Structure 1
Amino acid sequence: MVDALRTETTRIYVDSSVLLHCYEMSRSACEELLSALESLGGRVRVPVWCAKETWENSRGLSSKKPLLRIAGQLNKRMADFRNHSLRYVDERTFTDLTVDQYTSALDGAVTNLEQLAKRVEKIEPSHDAANARLIPFIAAHCLNSDMIGIYSEVQTTAETRFAHEVPPGYGDGGTKNNPEGEDEADEAAPQQKGKKRNRYGDLIMWLEALADCRESTGQHLVILTRDNTKGDWAHKPERVMGDEGRPQQNGGLITLPLPMLAQEAKRRCPDLQTVHVITLELFTQVMRSSFGARVSNLARALQSGTKVARPPRPVDRQDAGPVGELQFGSSDMMFEPAERDADRPIWQVLTDLQADGWSIRNEAAALLPELVVGATDDELKQVGRGLLSAANEDAVVPIETAVQLIEDGALSTHARANIIVGLLAEAYFDANGEPKKPAAHPDIVSALFEHGDDPQTRRAYELTVEERLGPMRRLYLALPGETAADIRLQVQVRSGQLVGVQANDKELLEPNAPPARRMSRAGGQIPLNELVAAIAREFVVPEVLLEVEGPAGYDVTIPERMGFIAWGPNTGEQLR
């Protein structure tokens, strides 16, 4: 897939389900999606039918405040829950809470939720902004298809294709007979199934793609879609071959085109070598990992509907207790359970954390708060490593779980400390236990820095950061566990264009950076606070530590080739 996306003879056809999603995301997520597609240049094509569907659906979108009614219902339900629950709670209900403690905690939760709802209830979708970005994109990439010829073929063949379940689109159309029996079915009038309107949309788009791919002698045909639930485009294999050559569970990320789809494509397009039908999730992850695209907002938007069943947390946990003996060495960077522990459930969950796909990683992370109770020291360190690794791929539940475990006062101090060792190890050390350029999700970075002076888990920071990285501390802008101090940023702007940013009198940017180090919004304009957030993420420090000297409420234009300096323990570049 990666090789196909890099090849100039690849043709990538964007379905309307992807384009319409721009109206259902934040402006930043929409920008990241379209920028990622634009980075692939002329390989990206928009079928005329998809442009038509996008235009028609966009005209029917509501511009009202979609959260206002939901927020009102939420506040009412929370108030009802509070009132009803307090009728039944007494001193015998909980073993770890008094009635007053429960009431106080509940009131605090209700108040916080009401305040959060109030902050967003009047948000209006920025459809005009999405149109302003999306319409030029479609115009620049739209096909010049022979629609009359395609309509004629659809009129002649569509119902026959649907009757024999020939992909794509048979899930949207066709007929079904009376299911009571063959004799009755022969006499009964066939009944229409699927969509009553736009039944042939997938087929029209497919025929457009085949015609364009044939005319342009494309060698790789890629369909990018979110319409992957009906099973009339692709199928999801249960297991796929992992990076290490071993079969692993497919969390739904990998999809393969239906065989008849691939056969038709190769029959009609003589130069075609491969056919791919990929989800927007897979595209986002490939663009992030193999093309260096900055897609964190897009990743979060694609997981906004994630519903993960969390097991109930154990009530009677261990007392915090002393931290006890901690250890960290290069062997902790190996992901191999002891033979006696290989069948323990926690190791299957840890394996799933490394699988491809946000869904399987999110489900695995949700199970960990229960499994860490009674886990061994080695397992706890692997929990920290696994959570950070999955979080760095922008899976949302591992981020939340990592922060939860760092702050979980009900978990034993020893267990928390080992998890923190694992988190720090994954952030700052490579597979051989040697210092590397660090990488960690900003939410986890903030939690690690915030708890660096916690006396209960202080030893975790000493063992991994101070003892090993202390002698080279000047190579980092800041390290967790150090005495917190604001980092003052000097932002240089000339005629609205960013010239440079210094911290501790050290330049953090360079004007002609290689593509791998260029800023995600290079060539565009961003608010200064987004620039600060990007610096915090690149240099693995909490955003709250960065303080801009002078005014801060303005936008800056990032030069097209501007990027971050090369830094890290292997560069010798001192940042302070």
Structure 2
Amino acid sequence: MPVYFDTSVLLRCYELSAKARDELFLTFEVLADKVRIPLWTAKEIFARTRASSRGNPFAKPRLEILTKLSAFKDLAHRYVDDDGAPTDKADEFFEHLAGIEAEFRRATAGLTSHRIDAEHTTALLVPLVNERVLSSDLDAIVARAGREGELRFSHGLPPGPGDGPGPEGTGGDLEASRAKGKKRNCYGDLIIWWEILDDLILNQRTRFVIVTCDVDKGDMVYAPRHLSGPEGNLVENSSLTLPHPMLVAEARKVASVVEVHVISLDQYSRLMGGPLGLDLSNLLRALQKPPEPDSTEILGARAPVDHALVGEEETLPADGASSEDYRRFTGRDLSYAIDENDEVDKLIGQIRSADWQVIRRAFARDGVPMSGASREQMLHIGAAMAEAVNARVQIARERLESLLLEQGGATAGAQLSRRQRQYLLLGVLASIYIGRDGTPIKPVSSHSLSEIVFSAFSRPGYGDPFQDILNRLAASREAYLRLPDEGAEAAEISLVTERVDEGVSRLLQAVVNDEVDLLERDVPRSRQLVKVGDEVHLSLDELRTRVADEFAVPLPLVVAGPAEGQLLIPRGLGFVRWGPGTGMTLRTPTRRDTNETG
């Protein structure tokens, strides 16, 4: 299936850190000849490369913030006196403002020397464009756009009506578009679209993907207000996009296409980083905006909940006390019907959303009565948060850490009782280790989620949920590389390699733990160490990350000796089939008793 990248994606390469940019280029390498770049995009990229320069992306916004802080201090001095100051005295308030400005200057001072190496990005981008550019008849397409573009835009036909004249444009004529900076390419999106259709016809392709950063204009995609959740319920959506129905209809009519996908760069990165096993942590972090400031951060709140919104205020039991005895996990706990009229249930649905922007907003909602959440609700909040962490949603990881490990401040999770935090952890553990029928399964946990879980084992108050789940795994303990009650015991893996080219690369043949080879050849694609391409080079750290993700252990616990050069991964090499019920033992028997937990 060809994947077409528009101008907005390739230009974004100039707006990323070096590591994030390199991870994006790694995805291009993995897709290889599936990458398609329209000729019009190549033209626009060429114009950008000619203007490439080194610059500081922080200089202007830093100056703007300092200017606004200065203006705010000026207003404060004019309007605030001892009677109106948030503190007892106006002078104390002014000193606090001055401290905020000084701290901001100190914290951002190091960014003043930051520079974007645009030339390096250009050096990577130009060969990619030259190799993957379409051989379009651009003269004919541009001429057609000149004849038909204005008529299409006048009727709001996608793509690109927001760039040109018409009811969805800016004023009904071309001059308005030119005022927006579209003087020479108001038909750019339309030209790219026709290039893609021509390429599909030429190569007889019936399925394709378009990746774009322009998912907000509404001329290529639309975002349905709700999506179907895992329990069949409707969940809120804001940025998960579907192709515009008019584009789908045109592609089917003109090119006999049966499957159209138009996705954002964020969605593309998560797809490449998940199923294909690529480490795109820096890229995903760069694409996910931090949450906006909010008066109440529910799930780790630092400000009091407005109980007028949630009903009568609840008196929480002190830590170490509980209003009920701990209730152990049962298979029935995995089934839960969401009530769309219940605020906490709405929160569960939002966290389960595939849309990270919806998830981000869920963690900053006002007035959600988390303190009144039931045992079942806390279990499913924990399971939903675990799924989000596995999907590499950064804010989900931060919130789970703040709730279970109380990182980010002493008041993190203060509105949750000890028992609620136990049930939250129980939901996380069950989502990792227990299947829907209530029996142990091969664990599903990224190394990031495993680090939170293994760290929680050493914290007081979590003995019940750990014992609850680990007792279920006791009969098949040797089927796991490590479990949370063995958090201090590293998994020391040994690499069996073969020199292939004078020490520059070494062919990986085996990864051994406790005399057990964790790899085998000719495995199904789902278990392959690298799921695409023929032979791929990995660094030792990249291999350790894949081992940690596969076997559900924290990355620091996967210890390997130094490896010279890069590791060459042969095609078809992958992980053994393992997990409870497979008969595969990953280590020699241990005498550890799970009753030592907590």
Any residues of structure 2 matched to 1:150-161 within 5 Å, and which? 150-161=141-152
Unaligned 5+ segments in structure 1 are 6-10, 94-98
Which of 566, 574, 585 does residue 563 from structure 1 map onto? 574
Alignment-derived partner of residue 217 in structure 1: 204
The answer to whether the 8 Å contact 1:169/1:201 transfers is yes
For 2:445 and 2:71, how far apart are their aligned partners in 1?
A: 40
Identity %: 29
- The one-letter code sitting in structure 2 at the alignment partner of 1:570 is G
Q: 1:262 to 1:422 in 2, by over 3 A?
A: closer
Q: How far does the alpha carbon of each residue in 1:364-422 deviate from its partner, in whole angstroms, 9 at most, with x for none?
A: 23449954212111111111111001221222222211111102463422111111111
Alpha-carbon deviation of 1:253?
A: 0.6
Query: 1:233: how far off?
Result: 2.2
Q: Residue 320 of structure 1: SS of its match in structure 2?
A: coil
Q: State the alpha-carbon separation in 1 of the partners of residues 554 and 70 from structure 2.
A: 36
Query: Within 1, Cα distance between the matches of 2:218 and 2:185?
Result: 18
Where does residue 474 of structure 1 map in the other structure?
478
Q: How do residues 317-356 of structure 1 correspond to structure 2 at under 5 angstroms? A: 318=316, 319-322=318-321, 324-337=325-338, 343-356=341-354
State the partner residue of 2:425.
420
The DSSP-based 3-state class of the residue aligned with 2:363 is helix
Give the alignment of 1:81-92 within 5 angstroms: none
Q: 2:310 corresponds to which residue?
A: none
The alpha carbon displacement at 1:440 in A equals 2.2
Change (3 A) 1:243 1:349: closer
> SS at the partner of 1:382?
helix
Alignment of structure 1 residues 522-561 onto 2, 5 Å:
523-549=535-561, 551=562, 555-561=565-571
- Corresponding residue of 1:166: 157
Partner amino acid, structure 2, of 1:320: D
* 1:319-468 mapped onto 2 (5 Å cutoff): 319-322=318-321, 324-337=325-338, 343-367=341-365, 371-406=369-404, 407=406, 408=412, 410=414, 411-465=416-470, 467-468=471-472
The Cα of 1:152 is off from its aligned counterpart by 1.7
8 Å CA contact retained: 2:23, 2:282 = yes
C-alpha separation between the residues in 2 aligned to 1:246 and 1:90? 47
1:198 and 2:185 aligned: yes
**Pick aligned residue for 1:516 from 526, 531, 542:** 526
Q: Deviations over 1:55-83 (max 9, x none)?
A: 3224434423434676798899999999x
TM-superposed CA distance for 1:252, in Å, is 2.6
1:256 paired residue among 243, 248, 268: 243
Distance 1:425 1:489, change over 3 A: same
**Deviations 1:322-377, CA, capped at 9 Å, x for gaps:** 3642421111212325xxx7632000111122223222222223449954212111
Q: Look up the SS of the partner of 1:490 in the other structure.
A: strand
How many angstroms apart in 1 are the aligned matches of 2:72 and 2:330? 50
AA aligned opposite 1:558 = L
Aligned pair in 2 of structure 1 residues 92, 386: CA closer, same or farther (>3 Å)?
Answer: farther
Gap runs ≥5 in structure 2: 306-314, 407-411, 588-598
Instruction: Tell whether the 8 Å contact from 2:481 to 2:586 is kept in structure 1 after alignment.
Output: yes
CA positional deviation for 1:125: 3.6
Q: 1:569–1:558: structure 2 CA closer, same or farther, 3 Å change rule?
A: farther
Q: Report what 2:195 is aligned to.
A: 208
Match of 1:497 in 2: 506
TM-score, with length taken from structure 1? 0.80
User: What displacement does 1:254 show?
Assistant: 2.7
Counting only pairs closer than 5 Å after superposition, residues 60-209 of structure 1 correspond to structure 2 as: 60-67=51-58, 122-174=113-165, 191-193=175-177, 194=180, 195-209=182-196
**AA paired with 2:383?**
R
* Other structure's SS at 1:481 match: helix
Matched-pair contact (CA < 8 Å) for 2:285–2:394 = yes
Question: 2:590: which partner in 1?
Answer: none
Q: C-alpha deviations, 1:493-517, integer Å up to 9, x for none?
A: 5433253433334333345543222
Q: Is the 8 A contact 1:366 1:401 kept in 2?
A: no
Deviates further, 503-512 or 407-416? 503-512
Give, as a single letter, the amino acid of the residue that structure 2 aligns with 1:559. Answer: I
User: Is contact 1:346-1:368 (8 Å) kept?
Assistant: no
| 1:574 equivalent in structure 2 | 585
Aligned residues of 1:445 and 1:541 also touching (Cα < 8 A): yes
Is the 2:295–2:366 contact (alpha carbons within 8 Å) kept by the matching residues of 1? no
Distance 1:462 1:114 in 2: 49
TM-score in terms of structure 2 length: 0.77
RMSD over aligned Cα, in angstroms?
4.1
Name the structure 1 match of 2:220: 233
* Residue matched to 1:486: 490
Q: How many residues align?
A: 540
